[in-house]
Amino acid sequence: MEEGLLEHVFALPGGPGRPIADRFAEAPPLREDAALREDETRKRAERAAATIKSYTGTRSAVAEMTTALLTICFGAWLFHRLTPGMLSLAPALADTYALDAAIGNVPLGRGLGGLWYGAFPVGASPLAIITVALMLIVTAAVVTAFAGILADPVQTRLGVHQARLRRLITAVERDMTGSDSAPFAAREHLYARVFDIADIAGGLFRLFR
């Protein structure tokens, strides 16, 4: 099967809103195989469409990982701690704001206030932490939307894009030929969830500490 298959599939008539499975069902490898039953043709087409859907989802997963890496770098630089997500970054940032506000309210000046609260630290209230977390989540959503500006050049330079596309073409070939091989594995989704689990674990550790 030539690598132009995907271009042929997306060039089939019906407009961009037409299900990809319908386009795969009309692709030459399936349409011209008289030995295939209609249900088998549909099964292969739907499996190939699911592979395409899994592949397209890798972009959002990479964007999430990029945001998480930026969050880790920010937390390490500012707070010298591991902050893989907003749940772990929000308490640290809220505590910093609470401490700065408390020092600023000391009547004898910030110098004495810094000494006092250095010995007797003050923490942020749960409401303040939730407020900061919501603000960070909104900010992270904006950063994630544009994360490709950073992630795409790096992936291109490292050959990640090309390797992933080759795996996609191989997987679609297997789907169209009815192979029982394992489906296309989008490992980026797993990596993104690792950051989420680390973030949740950090939040729970702080909660029960």
- pLDDT of 43 higher than 90: no
* pLDDT in the model for residue 68: 92
Q: What average pLDDT does the segment 19-25 reach?
A: 74
Answer yes or no: is pLDDT of 1 > 50: no
Rounded Cα distance between 77 and 70, Å, is: 11
Dump pLDDT digits (tens) for 153-172.
Answer: 999 999 988 888 888 888 88
Q: Which residues contact 82 (CB under 8 A, 6 or more apart)?
A: 72, 75, 76, 88, 198, 202
The pTM assigned to this predicted structure is 0.74
Residue 202: predicted pLDDT: 78
Closest C-alpha to 171, from 27, 32, 36, 44: 44
pLDDT at position 126 is 84
Is residue 89 a contact partner of residue 75, using CB atoms and an 8 Å limit? yes
**Could you report the per-residue pLDDT of 44-76, keeping only the tens digit for each?**
888 888 888 888 889 889 999 999 999 999 988
Domain coordinates in residue numbering, the chain: 1-56, 58-209
Q: Given pLDDT bands bounded at 50, 70 and 90, which one contains residue 135?
A: very high
For the chain, the average pLDDT equals 80
